[in-house]
Amino acid sequence: MLIEEYFQQLREVIEACTLVQSFNLIPDKRGDSEGFIRGVIKLTDSSILYLREFVNVETTINREMYSYQYMDASNNIIFRYDNVEHHKKLNLPNYPHHKHDGSEDNVISSNAPMLADVLDEIATLLG
């Protein structure tokens, strides 16, 4: 797969989500199969999802770095998924993948979600 195809897949996932009011993605191609993308997705309830991914799609989709931070309209964290290696001492089963649930300090183990999974979780929260 080419990195442009992956970037387009992300756009299509966002456009398919009925909760999205607007979005801005900034792709940065770093080679035919490698790139960095960041973006802001504004949702219909004025909450915001910030995303960042550094991804290599040469053979599989390998997100070497990702962060999906969901904030309410008042800029309070609802959750953040990331794979930054800063919680090794917590002995999380899926380290370095983890979720900050409700606050920076409430760190729990998680799988590495894809953007569609995160948008589905937000849809469930918003009912």
Per-residue pLDDT of the chain (127 residues; tens, 9 = 90+): 899 999 999 999 999 999 999 999 999 999 999 999 999 999 999 999 999 999 999 999 999 999 999 999 999 999 999 998 776 667 787 888 899 999 888 988 899 999 999 999 999 999 8
Q: Is residue 33 part of a domain?
A: yes
For the chain, how many structural domains are there in total?
Answer: 1
Q: Is residue 70 part of a domain?
A: yes
The model carries a pTM of 0.93
Q: Is residue 95 part of a domain?
A: no
Q: Is residue 62 part of a domain?
A: yes
Three-class SS of residue 24? strand
Query: Which residue range(s) make up the domain with 56?
Result: 3-76+110-126
Work out whether the CA dihedral 18, 45, 123, 111 comes out positive or negative.
positive
